[in-house]
Amino acid sequence: MGQSEGKLSGKVAIVTGAAQGMGAAIASRLAQEGAKVIVSDINGEKAKQVAEKINAAHHTALAIKMDVTQEHEIAEMVQETLERYGTISILVNNAGILYSTRVDDVTKAEWDAVLDVNLNGTFLCSKAVLGIMKENKFGRIINMSSSAGRSVSTLGGIHYTTAKAGVLGFTRALAKEVAPFGITVNAVCPGLINTEMARLSCSPERLSAYEASFPIPRLGTPEEVARLVLFLATDATYITGASIDINGGDLMM
């Protein structure tokens, strides 16, 4: 699809943690729909590769190396986005880290790191784009939570569950505050998705056992999550403050 024909033509999207996994799939999907996409990640080299792939497919992307825990790096990314593309319409807070450590062994440093990336990063990036979205009277903020946030994490430790539950509270509170400005804020809650995060946190045997136990007996794909994010960024005009499950029926609430 050419840039002028898509549902997101004229829109500019920032996707954090977009160098691989779900973030990369989301960046590609939004670009295919005509958005100009900032592929941002702490891993600048891999982000560049994702952006190059998008541009090679005749869509538009720019890689920006950025750590979501560093307010000044976020501010620089916002500045660079505005200079390059003129506006910001969509923010996907996707960057995340997971440790499986059990509570007795979780250090304060590890607790802080997990909360910093998964929860505080979501707050900092959202805050950084709200001004421009309010000015535009339009914005779509999509936060990556997890089944962990709705229940208890399968693979992650107590800090991961806490952070992802925090993302859901943040989503609701922000949605209420910014709805009058034409900004929607929603959370996506994936179950087990076939990415490096899942593969590195679990043996292949355990992953196979998990997938066999799901009503839809397989892992989800990054592209399936990307399609849900696209929906929230486009047609979901009357949905805000929602937490949307995508988990093959693993968790039904």
Ligand X SMILES: NC(=O)c1ccc[n+]([C@@H]2O[C@H](COP(=O)([O-])OP(=O)(O)OC[C@H]3O[C@@H](n4cnc5c(N)ncnc54)[C@H](O)[C@@H]3O)[C@@H](O)[C@H]2O)c1
Q: Indicate the residue among 32 and 195 with the shorter CB distance to ligand X.
A: 195
* Catalytic entry in 99, 160, 210, 238: 160
Transcribe 178-220 into DSSP letters.
HGGGTEEEEEEEE-SBSSHHHHHTS-HHHHHHHHHHSSS-S-B
Q: Indicate the residue among 31 and 144 with the shorter CB distance to ligand X.
A: 144
- Least distance in angstroms from the C-beta of 224 to ligand X: 12
Q: Which of 91, 144, 165, 178 binds ligand X (CB under 6 A)?
A: 144
Burial of 107 (0-12, 13-18, 19+ CB in 10 A): exposed
- Least distance in angstroms from the C-beta of 3 to ligand X: 25
Catalytic annotation present for 238: no
Separation of CA 136 from chain center: 22
Contacts 24+ apart (CB under 8 A), 99-102: 99/156, 99/157, 99/159, 99/160, 100/155, 100/156, 100/157, 100/201, 101/157, 101/159, 102/157, 102/158
Rule CB under 6 A: is residue 69 a binding residue for ligand X?
yes
Q: Which of 8, 15, 17, 233 binds ligand X (CB under 6 A)?
A: 17
Q: Indicate the residue among 6 and 21 with the shorter CB distance to ligand X.
A: 21
Considering CB under 6 A, how many residues would be counted as binding ligand X? 28
Q: Indicate the residue among 6 and 39 with the shorter CB distance to ligand X.
A: 39
- E-assigned strands of 107-179? 139-144
Rule CB under 6 A: is residue 41 a binding residue for ligand X?
yes
- Please identify every residue annotated as catalytic: 160
What are the residues binding ligand X (CB under 6 A)? 16-17, 19-23, 41-43, 67-69, 94-98, 117, 144, 146, 190, 192-193, 195-198
